Structure 1
Amino acid sequence: MNSPAIPLSEAARVELVTSPGCHFCGHAREVLDRVATDVPLEVTEVDLDSPAGRAALARWRVPFPPILLVNGALFGYGRISERKLRAVLAGKGD
């Protein structure tokens, strides 16, 4: 199923659920920083130990952080693919 393309005038809502000491979390931040130079993003970072972080973990049942949500839907967890994220934001991916 293809995601609809996000208009350039509208920022994608991205939630990044992280944990201290998580090296994949640092990688995810770097990916988001690079993508944000080309695509408007509204990024919110949430600590895994916060109520919102625990709620995301319970809802999506992922084994480890980071958890990346795009417009409220689970995009992925762990090592985040920049290529796949760009495709989803352009409406060319799942």
Structure 2
Amino acid sequence: MSEGDPRVVLVSRVGCHLCDDGREVVRAVAAARGVGWSEVDVDADPELLRRFSDKVPVVLVDGVERDFGRLDAGRLTEALAGRRWWRRRRA
């Protein structure tokens, strides 16, 4: 990750309702915390597709997978605060 890269990356898929909901969570939390974020299409990258196809939406914070499925504002806020937490159950 370089200096100008966004801290939060949303890995999503076109036509995914959970991704639409997750986008709003990411947008709101990133704005509240003053951090940059971006979105990538899982189907446009073979490596992302291999890693995350069954899990979208997925949130990466500083390059580390931090949440997937039904994204939660509290979990994303905790991840951005640097707390070591990982969602262990499937959505």
Q: Give the TM-score, by structure 2 length.
A: 0.74
Q: Work out which of the two has the higher radius of gyration on C-alpha atoms and give 1 or 2.
A: 1
Query: Structure 1 runs of 4+ off > 3 angstroms?
Result: none
Q: Among residues 18, 40, 47, which one is paired with 2:41 in the alignment? A: 47
Structure 2 unaligned runs (5+)? 86-91
Structure 1 residue runs without a partner (length 5+): 1-10
Q: 2:53 and 2:42 mapped to 1: Cα distance?
A: 12
1:7-86 equivalences under 5 Å are 13-51=7-45, 54-58=46-50, 60-61=51-52, 63-86=54-77
- Range with greater deviation from structure 2 (62-71 or 21-30): 62-71
Structure 1 residues 62 and 75, CA gap change in structure 2 (3 angstroms): farther
Say which SS state the counterpart of residue 36 (structure 2) adopts. Answer: strand
Shift, 1:48, TM fit: 1.3
More contact order relative to length (CA 8 Å, sep ≥ 6): 1
CA RMSD of the aligned region, Å?
2.2
Identity of aligned residues (%): 35
Q: Give the CA deviation at 1:27.
A: 1.1
